[in-house]
A and B are shown apart, each in its own frame.
Chain A
């Protein structure tokens, strides 16, 4: 029982990341009809927004500590962040400590701008081209973006920790009446799950309860009719691309304390996220979210030692196996709509 609860919890945070990326992918596909293989790169760039803000906050001047030496035996150069001078050492340290949450504010405008520039500058030229062309150009863009990041930040992972207040883990087992230390779960992963739920809820509420969202939904259902009503649907879809980029970017920002970001992290998520989109049903936002959590939880269960002893290697294929079964039994995915990607 404890193992089951534990793996469900693990699946929830993994599923949160899949769901957030798949949500953005589906938004772009549903509005613009583009299969965006650069979406994983947007997740990665979001993570590097956190790295960048962290570096900005730790911009320093150098003082010489004559009492200590560096590796060459010279007096040690010590970097002192400017924020220490501006806000005092304890307040400055607290600001640096909270770099990841603060990065949310930094990432939103960056990611929306990047999304809009990507859409207007490149992707709009491929709307009327076959999906294969769209995949090639967006995949190429993803590689360019990750190489640019590697050029500036290097190939090694860069540690970007959570604030001190959220380090460590919560003992769920003790709360539920199990022995202590049996079901533990890191605080930051709980925050990630709650954050993902808020973002997903926010996107759905935005589409459901605002006029802008209503027009976008109408455009997704029948683009031509909306345009005939004199509404500039293209501009709204461009903004939706920016919104999808921001969702992926925020998913990346909040993921940085879970795994140190590196230039390749987007590709690690991309293929799985596409499987999530297809399993959820092309163009279905609730389907993407549902499939994200279902596949995340299944992946966690497949990694259990007891399962691996019976089915060695199942952890590496479970998502694809489930995808095959679902697509064989429900060709449009869990919540796919008729007519999407069927022409």
Chain B
């Protein structure tokens, strides 16, 4: 017969261990009965769409949400099927995913990492979401991707362009269809060289956060490789609205090209200010002064109005593409909503279909089975030509579009024209150059 002696120290230590165990969120513990987090058991499966519904990217978030709704409709057999008819994989039949009706819940990222994590956590814990997708910021994508890795669900990133998402911050449960800063630089440089020559002096204005740094580095590296000189690179606060004091000294520096490593409201304001200062009317070093915007978004270009005319940039996808997949998506989206989809909408739609297809091919919602189905997956018919989901870093490799602000737009949507479709091979890089560790898939149970 044993005798149990209660001591103050023993109670405290056991209590601490028990408390710590109880404090661990349920998504990190899971049930040993379930094979993985949020395994669907009824006739439906829930997806979580985490998009900015408030804040400065709310319009982009609204477009993402429209695309998600359309994808769910198509997965459940509604509408005209959109890209399901052009997708090279034939695993999807319009009967939901593995026969389960697709339902969805939405969260508001507010384009803030903490808010995005909170809404993703809520969708996983309370709503039982088996996959999280969406977002309009790299900071948010990295934060939510890490959460999904811990929770044991798949993260299909929305609009995120920083190298880090599938570089130093990559995770085994996270997948990015969108292109990145490196690809923008690699696609843009040859076009810039062909149009503006190889003897140029560039001045960079860079948004003072992670995406700005990776974009500046990518464009600098690729333009210096063709012979351009970088005369200065100045970081601008993310909260800056009037860029005049940053733009005014550009001409004094001897630069003849201004590269605006800005996105969203920053891009609209800095480009507007640069055009106001008449930079594009000036002749410097015997050459016409030029402006470059490495990452374009049609929704943002609309904010800059006529100032985008003639300015080069890159984009992931554009509604004017003539391939069958793009046209099918534009027709579905345009018929339903009355205007063409943005690149953010395209990415979110494609990511949803790719996830569903991977589940169908794997025959399971288990995130590790899904990840295995996505890794190294080659497909076509989704709008960017033949595409590879690279296994090493979960980054998609596909054609990248170099675009230019259209001189004579016919409508408020007709702002950009495609100058070049840069082949995927030209923007492909070694998976190890951005560091990071993919780790191993976490099923969450």
Contacts and interface: CB of A to CB of B under 8 A. Distances in A.
A258 B307 CA distance: 12
Interface stretch (A24-32, A82-90, A109-117, A157-165): A157-165
B303 A260 contact: yes
A159 B245 contact: no
Interface in B266-318: 268-269, 272-273, 276-278, 281-284, 299-300, 302-307
A66 interface: no
Sorted nearest first, the 8 A-B pairs with minimum C-beta distance are A159-B305, A157-B303, A169-B278, A303-B245, A155-B58, A300-B245, A186-B276, A10-B245
B249 interface: yes
A308 B234 contact: yes
Contacts of A260: 268-269, 272, 303-305
A258 B283 CA distance: 23
Given A150-B58, A316-B237, A14 B242 contact: yes
B55 A155 contact: yes
B251 A182 contact: yes
Nearest to B269: A259
A182 B244 contact: no
B249 A169 contact: no
Interface in A9-38: 9-11, 13-14
Contacts of B249: 3, 6, 304-305
B232 interface: yes
Given A3-B252, A76-B410, A303-B245, A157 B237 contact: no
Nearest to A264: B56
Contacts of B251: 181-182, 184
Contacts of B413: 71
Given A158-B303, A181-B282, A182-B252, A262 B245 contact: no
A299 B306 contact: no
B248 interface: yes
Contacts of B335: 72
Contacts of B303: 156-159, 260, 262
B81 interface: no
The listed residue with most A CB atoms (<10 A of its CB), out of B242, B334, B411, is B242
A10 B244 contact: yes
Contacts of A188: 276
Contacts of B307: 159
A53 B304 CA distance: 19
A35 B339 CA distance: 44
Interface residues of B, number: 52
Contacts of B272: 159, 258-260
Interface string A325-342: 000000000000000000
Given A76-B411, A264-B56, 12 more contacts: A10-B245, A13-B244, A71-B334, A71-B339, A72-B334, A157-B265, A157-B303, A182-B251, A258-B242, A268-B239, A268-B241, A299-B245
**Chain B, interface SS category:** helix
Interface string A188-226: 110000000000000000000000000000000000000
30 contacts: A6-B249, A7-B248, A10-B245, A13-B244, A71-B319, A71-B334, A71-B339, A71-B413, A71-B414, A154-B58, A155-B57, A156-B59, A158-B303, A159-B272, A159-B302, A168-B281, A169-B277, A181-B283, A184-B278, A184-B282, A257-B276, A258-B276, A259-B272, A260-B272, A260-B303, A262-B265, A264-B265, A303-B246, A305-B232, A316-B239
Interface in A285-311: 299-301, 303-305, 308
A316 B239 CA distance: 9
A265 B306 contact: no
A262 B284 CA distance: 34
A281 B276 CA distance: 34
B82 interface: no
B282 A315 contact: no
A259 to B, nearest CB: 5
A158 B304 CA distance: 8
Main secondary structure of the interface of A (DSSP, over half): mixed
A76 B413 CA distance: 13
B123 interface: no
A68 interface: yes
Contacts of B331: 72
B65 interface: no
A315 B237 contact: yes
B360 to A, nearest CB: 30
A343 interface: no
A288 to B, nearest CB: 19
A303 B273 CA distance: 15
A38 B284 CA distance: 45
Contacts of B239: 268, 316
A156 B300 contact: yes
B304 to A, nearest CB: 6
A139 to B, nearest CB: 17
A300 B244 CA distance: 8
Instruction: Identify which of A72, A259, A305 gathers the most chain B CB atoms within 10 Å of its CB.
Output: A259
B356 interface: no
In this complex, the member of A3, A258, A260, A316 whose beta carbon has the largest number of chain B beta carbons within 10 angstroms is A260
Nearest to B300: A156
B340 interface: yes
Given A155-B59, A159-B307, A184-B251, A7 B340 contact: no
Contacts of B58: 150, 154-155
- Most chain A CB within 10 A, of B235, B284, B303, is at B303
A211 B303 CA distance: 46
